[in-house]
Structure 1
Amino acid sequence: MKSPIVSSSVVVCLSVAIAAVFLLTLASPTPAYAAVGAEVKGTVDDGVAYIEKNFGVKTHYSLENVFTGGYGEHALIAYAHMKVKHDPDSSVVAQGVRSALTIAAQLGGRDNEGHESKLVYAASVSVLLLAEVDRVKYRKQLQVFEQYFRRVQYRNGAYGYPGMQQGDISQTQYAMLALWTLDRAGFRVDYPGVQRTVSWLLRVQDTGGGWPYTAKDPGGPKRISQGGVTPSMAVAGGSALLIAADILRAWGEQESQFNPNIKGLPKGVKLFVEGMDNIAVKRPKVDSEAILAAIRDCDAYLSKNSPNPAEKNSSWPYYQLYTLERYESFKEIALKKKPAHSPPWFKAGVGYLKEQKKGLGWGARSYTTAPVTSSFALLFLIRSTQQAIEQTQQGMLAGGFGLPDDTTSIRVDGTQIKGEPVAEAVTDLLDMLEGEDPNALEGKSLPEDMKLATEPKARKAQIDRLIRLVRGSSSWQARRVAARLLGQSDEMRVVPALIFALDDPDTVVRTYARDGLRFISRKFEGFGMEIQPGEKQDYGELRRAQRLWREWYLTMDPGYIFVSN
Structure 2
Amino acid sequence: MALIVFFTFQSTAYAQPPKAEIDAAIKRGVAFLKQKKDYGRTGINAFVAYTLLKSGESPESPYIQNCIKNILADHQQKNKQGELVYQPGSDYNYCAGVQLMVLEAISPELYYEEIRTTTEFLISTQLPGGGWFYPQDTPNNGDTSISQYAILGLWAAERAGVVVPTTVWDKAARWHLSTQLTNGAFSYHPGTRSESAAKHTMAVAGTGSMYIISMQLYPDGKLRTGPVVKQKKPPKMRFGFLEKVELSEKEKGEEEKNPFTKPTISYAALQGGKSKGANWVINNYNVRNPTGWPNYYLYGIERIAALADTQKLGPHDWYADGARQLLTTQLADGSWKGVGNVHASTCLAIIFLSKATVKTLGRKYKPEPVGAGLLAGGRGLPKNLAEVQMRNGKIENKKLSGDLSELLAQLENPATADLDTTQETLVETITLGDREQLIKQKDRVLKLIDARSPDVRRTAFWALARTNDFRMAPHLIRALKDPDLGVRIEARNGLCTLSRKIRGLGMPADPLADAPENLPEAERLKLVEAWSDEATKRWQKWYNSIKPFEEKFDLYEVLNQFPQSKNK
Sort the TM-score into its range (normalised by shorter chain): 0.5 to 0.7
* Cα distance change, pair 391–138 in 1 and its aligned pair in 2 (3 A): farther
- 1:92 maps to amino acid: Y
- The 3 A distance-change label for structure 1 pair 102 and 245 is farther
Q: Following superposition of structure 1 onto structure 2, how do residues 57-72 of structure 1 map, counting pairs within 5 Å?
A: 71-72=42-43
The equivalent of 2:92 in structure 1 is 119
CA distance in 2, matches of 1:170, 1:259: 30
One-letter amino acid matched to 1:138: Y
Cα 1:100–1:438 change in 2 (3 A) is same
Residue 362 of structure 2: aligned partner = 390
Give, as a single letter, the amino acid of the residue that structure 1 aligns with 2:346.
Answer: S
- Please say if 1:101 is aligned against 2:79: no
CA distance in structure 1 between the partners assigned to 2:180 and 2:274 by the alignment: 10
Corresponding residue of 2:164: 189
The partner residue of 1:204 within 179, 197, 221 is 179
The one-letter code of the counterpart of 1:46 is R
Aligned partner of residue 387 in structure 1, secondary structure: helix
User: Could you give the per-residue CA deviations for residues 212-267 of structure 1, whole angstroms, max 9, x where no partner exists?
Assistant: 001139xxxxxx9982211110000001111122122443469699699xxxxxxx
RMSD: 4.2
Could you say what secondary structure the match of 1:98 adopts?
A: helix
In structure 1, the partner of 2:23 is 41
Residues 127 and 178, structure 1, Cα contact 8 Å, conserved in 2: yes
3-state SS of 1:207 partner: coil
Counterparts of 1:130 and 1:259, CA distance in 2: 17
Residues 438-490 of structure 1, C-alpha deviation per residue, up to 9 Å, x if partnerless? 665869xxxxxxxxxxxxxxxxxxxxxxxxxxxxxxx989xxxxxxxxxxxxx
Aligned partner letter, 1:243: I
State whether residues 433 and 440 of structure 1, in contact with CA within 8 Å, keep that contact through their aligned partners in structure 2: no
Q: Which amino acid aligns with 1:185?
A: A
Matches within 5 A, 1:253-332: 274=244, 282=260, 284-285=262-263, 286-308=265-287, 310=288, 312-332=289-309
Matched, 1:155 2:155: no
Q: Distance in 2 between matches of 1:36 and 1:101?
A: 39
* Secondary structure of 1:135's aligned partner: coil
TM-score by length of 2: 0.53
Structure 2 stretches lacking a partner, 5+ long: 1-16, 78-83, 233-241, 249-257, 365-380, 402-419, 423-486, 488-568
AA matched with 1:291: L
**What displacement does 1:339 show?**
9.6
Does 2:29 align with 1:78? no
Partner of 1:245: 214
Q: Using the alignment, how far apart are the partners of 1:247 and 1:123 within structure 2? A: 19
CA deviation digits over 1:176-212, x for unaligned, max 9? 1100000011002232111110011011100111000
CA distance in 1, matches of 2:102, 2:115: 10
Q: Which amino acid aligns with 1:172?
A: S
DSSP 3-state at the match of 2:335: coil
Between the aligned partners of 1:435 and 1:48, the Cα distance in structure 2 is 40
Number of aligned residue pairs: 344
Could you list the per-position Cα deviations for residues 389-444 of structure 1 after superposition, in whole angstroms to 9, with x for gaps in the alignment? 1289xxxxxxxxxxxxxxxxxxxxx95348xx58xxxxxx87x544899665869x
Q: Which has the larger radius of gyration?
A: 2
Write the distance in 2 (CA, Å) between the matches of 1:436 and 1:81: 33
Relative to structure 1, is the Cα distance of residues 209 and 277 closer, same or farther in structure 2, using a 3 angstrom cutoff?
farther
Q: Single out whichever of 280-289 and 382-391 deviates more from structure 2.
A: 280-289
CA displacement 1:255-314 (0-9 Å, x = unmatched): 699699xxxxxxxxxxx9636779x96353442222221122123322342242x1x343
| 1:416 maps to 2:383 | yes
Query: Is the alpha carbon distance of 1:249 and 1:299 closer, same or farther for their aligned partners in structure 2, counting shifts above 3 Å?
Result: closer
Question: Does the residue aligned with 1:85 lie in a helix, a strand or coil?
Answer: coil
Which residue, 188, 202, 209 being the options, matches 1:233?
202
The structure with higher relative contact order (CA 8 Å, sep 6+) is: 1
Q: Structure 2: how far apart are the matches of 1:300 and 1:71?
A: 37
Distance 1:171 1:36, change over 3 A: farther
Q: Deviation digits for residues 83-104 of structure 1, max 9, x if unmatched?
A: 2233223243123212321343
Given the alignment, which residue of 39, 44, 52 partners 2:34?
52
CA contact 1:187–1:276 (8 Å) conserved in 2? no
In structure 2, do the counterparts of structure 1 residues 80 and 36 end up closer, same or farther at CA, with 3 Å as the change threshold? farther
Q: Where do 1:415-454 residues align within 5 Å? A: 415-417=382-384, 432-434=390-392, 440=398
User: Could you tell me which residue of structure 2 aligns to residue 22 of structure 1?
Assistant: none
Q: How has the CA–CA distance of structure 1 residues 143 and 177 changed in structure 2, closer, same or farther, with 3 Å as cutoff? A: same
* CA distance in structure 1 between the partners assigned to 2:297 and 2:198 by the alignment: 13
Separation (CA, whole Å) in 2 of partners of 1:36 and 1:189: 41
Residue 220 of structure 2 aligns to a residue whose secondary structure is: coil
Structure 1 unaligned runs (5+)?
Answer: 1-34, 64-69, 218-223, 261-271, 393-413, 423-428, 444-474, 478-533, 535-565
Identity of aligned residues (%): 21
1:105 Cα offset (Å): 2.2
Q: 1:276 & 1:85 partners in 2: Cα distance?
A: 31
Q: Using the alignment, how far apart are the partners of 2:161 and 2:363 within structure 1? A: 14
How big is the shift at 1:108?
6.2
Per the alignment, in what secondary structure is the counterpart of residue 251 of structure 1? helix
For 1:171 and 1:41, the matched residues in 2 are separated by 30
Three-state SS of the structure 2 residue aligned to 1:71 is: coil
> Which residue of the other structure, out of 139, 152, 177, is the alignment partner of 1:164?
139
| Pair 195,317 (structure 1): closer, same or farther in 2 beyond 3 Å | same
Closer, same or farther: CA 276–314 of 1 in aligned 2, 3 Å: farther
Rounded Cα–Cα distance in structure 2 between residues aligned with 1:365 and 1:435: 49
1:336-355 counterparts in 2 under 5 A?
Answer: 344-355=317-328
